[in-house]
Structure 1
Amino acid sequence: MLDRFACYELCVQSPRHITAFLRALHGQHPTVLREDFAGTAAISRQWCLEAARAGESARAIAVELDAETSRRAAELMAESNLGASLKLIQGNCLALPCNGQQSDAADVVFVGNFSIGYIHDRQALVQYLTHSLNRLRRGNAGFGGGIFACDTYGGAGAFRLGGIERKHPGRRGEVIRYSWLHEHADPRTSTVRNSISFRVEINGEIAQEWPRAFVYEWRLWSIAELREAMAEVGFSDINVFKDVNVAPGETPRPVDNPAELGDDWIVIVAGRA
């Protein structure tokens, strides 16, 4: 049977595209991924699995605060037989060190699923970016040059209440109805409350249902705010990417013209250490 975490991975995430994008953006065979606000660590698992299939050495560090989510991440890691290549840390990735853990060096630091919005004030954002920059500068055997990347959304509808519903195929012929709802928005503070609900149908009958399976209270950072904070702490080559689907050997192309974004957009903002 599916659970809410499986529905999330099936309906929301695309680990294969993200890991390919991150590797291509780095451009120098990155080894160590740090995934903050990692959820079930789907990106980290994909990172390690791809390297194992290619006979390469790679590691990932996935940090998640929520206890239930961390337990599910550990179960999925065990099912994937990743061994020591993936380290799961249950703790606050905004704390340094995280739950007493040594601050690991990394070649790539990734914050996905709009989770940069868990940081609600600029001082905390700058502090987190500074810690991430320091991790990246210690990566690549001390030569640095790693990348930080996070996603965000915006546009004309960013603070408009309402939602969308989509259907996704399950693993065994189920139909998963996925609903994303903007429940509350305050443009004065750039804060939003969003929720995700799932309903699983088999042969037209409701088999499982999770109303408000995940609820998020985020600060919706603008592209400009993220770029300015990243530049302030010392990141360089800061760019915005709309398309994360990259072919083998292809270099991700940054957004050159604001018209490319359209009325509503999801982007990745990335910079180099």
Structure 2
Amino acid sequence: MSSKSSKKLTRAAQADRHVLYQKSVQCPEAEIEFFEKTFNELRGRDALSIKEDFCGTAYLATEWCKGDPARTAIGVDYDKETLAWGQKNNVDAAGADVAKRITLIQDDVRNVTEPSVDIVCAFNFSYCLFEERDELIDYFRQTRASLKDDGLLILDLFGGTECADVLEEETEIEDEGATYVWEHVSFNPINNHMACAIHFDFDDGSRLDNAFTYEWRLWAIPEVREMLEEAGYTNVRIYWERFEDSEDDEDEMEGTGEYYEITEAENQESWMIYIVAEPV
């Protein structure tokens, strides 16, 4: 009698990279809270429609529409496989009432400007893949064409003194028995081109290597502001995270998740900001 030996699959081999990404990188609740607060403060009304450029799995678009039955969302991304995963696991899984208010489009984000919306957003630094100034200005012009007259463009951006360093940062993913690893693979100070990667380490010793990889330009805040103005935006606001003393280490500061508008800041090892641009 013969038997076949089976080899147990590792955690990495069984992992769904999109699930891990959503749990470790994205926080739609915080982003939606920022949308609600900022749009109401600047426009005096509630935002009801968004276009999520570089939407990936449309996690943010789905959570946005789940928050209010009057809300709608458009998600645009070039990656067919990722959009299909998001349609099945986020949009359709949210139920028919939510799904009917979300439209996913596979296309270059610069090609989709209709229908006009209250908010266009591009998060997780995705627009930084436009590494040439003319390319990024053209994208910003298209976002402006996508907005209603009183709409807002909302971006995020990262920076800090550590950004040019080759490094790895690890963060445990709650209830997953896994660790999120963010790596700065390389940085070229001549043109600010950088390569980054996301890996996931598991408690069985396995690793999902290069689950996501990125090649982009590390744009500076003044550069982005100037390009937005050149693209036709009249007022560009910078929102910085409020920090407070850490309860665990008196020499450390920790972010509160609360963002406020500033015109001057002290540089830090690492920061993530929101940029809000008004077309009028």
Is TM more than 0.5 here?
yes
Greater relative contact order (CA < 8 Å, ≥ 6 in sequence): 1
The equivalent residue for 2:91 is 77
Residue in structure 2 matched with residue 212 of structure 1 by the alignment: 210
What amino acid maps onto 1:39 in structure 2? G
Taking structure 1 as the reference length, the TM-score comes to: 0.85
**Does residue 67 of structure 2 align to residue 50 of structure 1?**
yes
Percent identity between the aligned chains? 24
SS of the equivalent of 2:100 reads helix
Q: Is the 8 A contact 1:21 1:245 kept in 2?
A: no
Q: TM-score, normalised by structure 2?
A: 0.83
Larger Rg: 2
Contact 2:55 2:75 in 1 (8 A): yes
How far apart in 2 are the matches of 1:84 and 1:33? 15
Tell me the number of residue pairs that the alignment of Structure 1 and Structure 2 aligns: 245
For the Cα contact (< 8 Å) 2:161–2:268, is it kept in 1? no
Residue among 140, 144, 148 paired with 1:133? 144
1:165 — aligned with what?
170
Structure 2: gaps spanning 5 or more residues: 1-13, 242-255
| Contact 1:157/1:264, CA 8 A, preserved across alignment | yes
The one-letter amino acid paired with 2:268 is G
Aligned to 2:235: 237
CA distance in 1 between partners of 2:127 and 2:219 (Å): 8
Please list, as runs of the form range in 1=range in 2, the aligned pairs for 1:148-187 lying within 5 A after superposition.
Answer: 148-170=153-175, 174-187=176-189
Q: CA deviation at 1:42?
A: 1.2
Question: What is residue 5 of structure 2 aligned with on the other side?
Answer: none
CA-based RMSD of the aligned residues comes to: 1.7
- In the other structure, the counterpart of 1:269 is 275
**Who is 1:120 aligned against?**
131
Do the aligned partners of 1:116 and 1:151 also contact (CA within 8 Å) in 2?
Answer: no
Which residue, out of 5, 19, 26, partners 1:13?
26
Q: Which residue of 1 aligns with 2:8?
A: none
Q: Give the C-alpha shift of residue 2 in structure 1.
A: 4.7
- Deviating above 6 A after TM superposition, structure 1's stretches of 4 or more consecutive aligned residues are none
